[in-house]
Amino acid sequence: MNRYLLKVVSLVIGFAFLYFPILTLIAYSFNDNKRVMVWKGFSFRWYGKLFQNEQIIEAFVISIKIASLSATFATILGVMIGYSLTRISKIPARPFFIFLSSSPLVMPEIILGLSLLLFFISSNHLIGFPSSKGQLTVLISHITFSVAFVAVIIQSRLSSYDKNIEEAAQDLGTIPNKIFWKITAPVILPSIISGWLLAFTLSLDDLVVASFTTGPGANTLPIVVFSKVRLGLSPEVNALSAIIMLFVIMAAIAYYFVNRSNIQK
């Protein structure tokens, strides 16, 4: 009984700590007061303001665009890396390739951002590309740090499943060139999807690397939000937080139910 109590208490305190700030933010997004923390009454006022804020809306659109493109390219490259490392034995300078594909995972983002910015400036001096910093440079940077995360997911999936099924396909008459599309890709599809989702959130969430590599017309949502909350509080950002969190929670609940019915099947 004592141990049960310990369990409940740890879990309650733990989850309270995780959710208290999120829930407070959502609650105060409905506060009808310009001074964020003094409760005046319930209203949707800040949501209205938020949707009229062109800067935030534009940043949101840019962020979604970069995140989906970055996730797609990172997934393609990540699948290639995972496949190469688990299925192809003859890779020139294989340890160097492993080093390249895993070290973005442990590289502090401030160093990553700095190195990419210096690279873009030098490359612009040398060959005139990229012509200026902007959405393209942010996109390239996001792909670069997301690739490693996708590669890890794909690699662990590829090395955990029975390699015999690829041989079985060949034994049953599949020509070698088609095995990847007919067998490997469909089998690892769930990992490909979770890799894409992870890369998408990484891009959507990134502030530091984007701050280094951004240019005119490429202010992503985190950059705009950061500039708004750096020195003070913003009721519009409260409303934005509530919307984002609601969205995440809904996605999580949907995922939970889809998964649960899958298991029961």
Partner 1 sequence: MTLLSAHGKVSPSIFLMNNFLRKQNFWFVFTPYFWLVLFFFIPLALIFKISISVSEWGMPPYRDLLDFSDGNIKINSTLSNYAFIFSDPFYLRSYLNSLSLAFTSTLICLLIGYPIAFYVAKSKESTRNLLLILLIIPFWTSFLLRVYAWKVILQGSGIINAILMKFGIISEPLSMLYNHYTVVLGVVYTYLPFMILPLYGYLVKFDLNLIDASNDLGARPLRTFIRVILPLSLPGIIAGSMLVFIPVVGEFVIPELLGGSDKLYFGKIIWQEFFVNRDWPIASALAMSGIIILVLPIIVFQLMFAKYNFKNE
Partner 2 sequence: MSSSFLEIKDVSKKFGSTIALDQVNLNISKSELFSLLGSSGCGKSTLLRIIAGFEKPDSGKIHLDGEDITLLPPHLRPLNMMFQNYALFPHLNVKKNIEFGLKEEKFSSSEIDSRTSEIISLLELNGLEKRKIFEISGGQQQRVALARCLVKKPKLLLLDEPLAALDKKLRVQTQFELVDLQYKLGITFIIVTHDQEEAMSLSDRMAIMKTGKVLQIGNPVEVYEKPLNEYVANFIGTANIFNITKLDNKYIIDELNMEVDPTNINKKFKKCLIRPEKISIKKFISKNTPNQCKGIVKEVAYLGSYTKYLIESNGFKFYSYMQNSEISEELKIKWDDLVECSWKSESVYFFNE
The residues of the shown chain that bind partner 2, judged by CB under 8 A, are 161-162, 164-165, 167-176, 183, 186-187, 189, 265
Measured distance CA(14)–CA(10) in Å, rounded: 6
Of 53 and 184, nearer to partner 2 (C-beta) is 184
Beta bridge partners of 31: 42
**Residue 52 Cβ, how far from partner 1 at the closest point, in Å?**
20
Of 54 and 93, nearer to partner 1 (C-beta) is 93
15 binds, among partner 2, partner 1, none (CB under 5 to 8 A by kind): partner 1
125 binds, among partner 1, partner 2, none (CB under 5 to 8 A by kind): partner 1
Site stretch for partner 1 (CB under 8 A), options 48-56, 64-72, 75-83, 188-196 = 75-83
256 binds, among partner 1, partner 2, none (CB under 5 to 8 A by kind): partner 1
**Comparing C-alpha atoms, which of 117, 139, 145 is closest to residue 217?**
139
165 binds, among partner 1, partner 2, none (CB under 5 to 8 A by kind): partner 2
35 binds, among partner 1, partner 2, none (CB under 5 to 8 A by kind): partner 1
Of 107 and 189, nearer to partner 1 (C-beta) is 107
**Residue 161 Cβ, how far from partner 2 at the closest point, in Å?**
8
63 φ, ψ to 5°? Answer: -60, -45
201 φ, ψ to 5°? Answer: -70, -40
Residues recorded for the chain: 265
CB 239 within 8 A of CB 49: yes
Of 189 and 250, nearer to partner 1 (C-beta) is 250
88 to 147, contacts with partner 1 by CB under 8 A? 88-91, 97, 99-104, 106-111, 114-116, 118-119, 121-122, 125, 140-141, 143-144, 147
Beta bridge partners of 42: 31
**Residue 75 Cβ, how far from partner 1 at the closest point, in Å?**
11
Q: Per-residue x/- mask for partner 1, residues 225 to 254, rule CB under 8 A? A: xx--xx--x---xx-xx--xx--xx-xxx-
- The 10 Å CB-count burial string (b at 16+, else e) for 217-228 is ebbbbbbbbeeb
194 burial level (CB within 10 Å; 0-12, 13-18, 19+): middle
Q: Which residues contact 193 (CB under 8 A, 6 or more apart)?
A: none
If one counts every other C-beta atom within 10 angstroms of the C-beta of residue 102, the result is 15
